Structure 1
Amino acid sequence: MPKSREEKLWKKLKKLEEKIKKSQSRRRRIRSLSSSERESVDDPDPNERPEVIEDTGTQQLQDDVLIALGNPSCSDKSYSESIHPEIIRRVENVLTSGLEKERKDELLKKYLIPNNFALLEAPKLNRELEGLLSDPIKERDKRIEERQQQLGVALSAVLSCLDNFVKVDPNPAKIEVLTDVARLLSDLHYNNTCTRKKLVAVNLDKDIVKTTESAKRDSFLFGERFNEDVKTANAIKKAAPSILKKSNFTRKMGQTRQSNYTQFKNKENFNAPPQANRAKQGRGGRYQPRNSGRQQQQQQPHQKKAYRHKSVRQT
């Protein structure tokens, strides 16, 4: 069983106490020596030189004070008991260099997926998407699918071993360990499925993605009912204008515009010009139509001509 942090701490404290006691006894022994002996001690043989620990001036804390302070915050990772070196040799090279392709294919064929648990297989990409997605996207999904398939094979081997313990040797400790390992691998299998969905969904329509988010995977990545879900999403999108009600916002805006119009109509200055034409008003403040200036310009030449005509007749 792994040792707790408290036990490790107490052991360290005991070792420090023993070192301090040894250093104190050595100092007392050196002080009791005569001056001649001290001279011999000043330059002794290097092999026989006593180890002296510098006094840091720290006070030894009592046990109740250490308990009150609590466990020290330690960033070191905690590890379990050591395993047999021969087991490490079988796995260490794989962690650094990976498995050879022939050995990997051999192991994948050795441990088969149970016939009543097809979910251990990696889900395939839906046929409807194979003709729509580009080749790089499909190749990336294929690589993740192969890793997920290898994970499913490893999980099936763990579950077969767990099934053997349950039926033949029901050891609770072994069953608990294998069950925990199966849960961790299953969660990793599920995360691979979510990653593949997100990478493919980036290239899909938003409405279709919303309808497929709630769909659970089966033998296919987006489920066997993907085609039906797409048709349903498109039908709802087309029928949305006739299904949805008018928002309260548009109703309120219509009511406010109507009320402002009635209030403005009931006022005495209803015939006032728009704000854009107020700059063209005269000093009297009355409204002048746009074509009034043009009419005056057209009338002035006629008046001048008539005036000249009268002056000619008088002469």
Structure 2
Amino acid sequence: MNDQKHEAANQDWLEAELADTLDEDYELELSEPALSEEIRKIYRKTHPPTIPRMEYFRALLALQAELIKLQDWVAYHKEKVVVVFEGRDSAGKGGVIKRITQRLNPRTARVVALPAPSDREKSQWYFQRYVPHLPAGGEIVLFDRSWYNRSGVERVMGFATEDEVQQFFHDVPEFERMLVRSGIRVIKYWFSITDEEQQLRFLMRIHDPLKQWKLSPMDLQSRVRWEGYTKAKEETFARTNIPEAPWYIVEGNDKKRARLNCIAHLLSQVPYEPVPHEEITLPDRVFNPDYERKVLPPELYVPSKY
């Protein structure tokens, strides 16, 4: 009987957690109300039905539960993990990073998204500004774009000379081997979308006030230089796909499947196992019969508008 009650309680908890997840992810997904009806029609026409929403959220919640186990294992064994996310603009890197970190401890898992280098950083060894962000023991670092800016946007947009690009290709395999030899697990993802899909996503961002901030002049130039980015990507794969840190391509046209596939693959790349946990018990509150809670002035409170 007790086992049945325990099972029922677990089921109730799962349903409540799923409801919270639905609310949270509805908020992340909100964009369509801001789109023009014409773009909605085009998007629906070009996209086959994706995973049903409830099925997607159940799978996502299960994967996020595994990510917590991975996080515990990394912290317990003082492991060091670097995950690199690259790909075309609007390919979905940010979306999967949000879902990976959504339920993790930010002290264990952190995101690095560096701005354009300063004049001082431009004069440094190219990898120097990335090194301070590498993980210490017990940390997972997710790079939302990385040192591969040199063989991607910097090369295509002319911010790096061809000599600098060739030096990068010469150096980066050894740089990553050094990271691996030092005990850092390096996992690299490239998010791939079609020309047509990127165009649609850019149009959606243009017409969506909640996402217009994501569009920069550099993003718009990526449409003009699509073929240049394709050639740069192909050479990057050819020259930096090393056994110690191989590339993994995530097909990104279907955002939901891309997120689930990437997280599932990430979990498969780390041999995490359950780790010991101290049993947590809630201590009794100390009650002082002589204490009387003070009434605070009303102006200190946030107005109840909702």
**TM-score range for the pair, normalised by the shorter chain length:** under 0.3
The structure carrying a bigger strand percent of its residues is 2
- Please identify the structure whose Cα radius of gyration is greater: 1
Using the size of structure 2 for normalisation, the TM-score is: 0.18
Higher RCO, 1 vs 2 (CA within 8 Å, ≥6 residues apart): 2
Q: Please report the TM-score for the alignment, with normalisation by the length of structure 1.
A: 0.17
Please identify which structure carries the higher helix content: 1
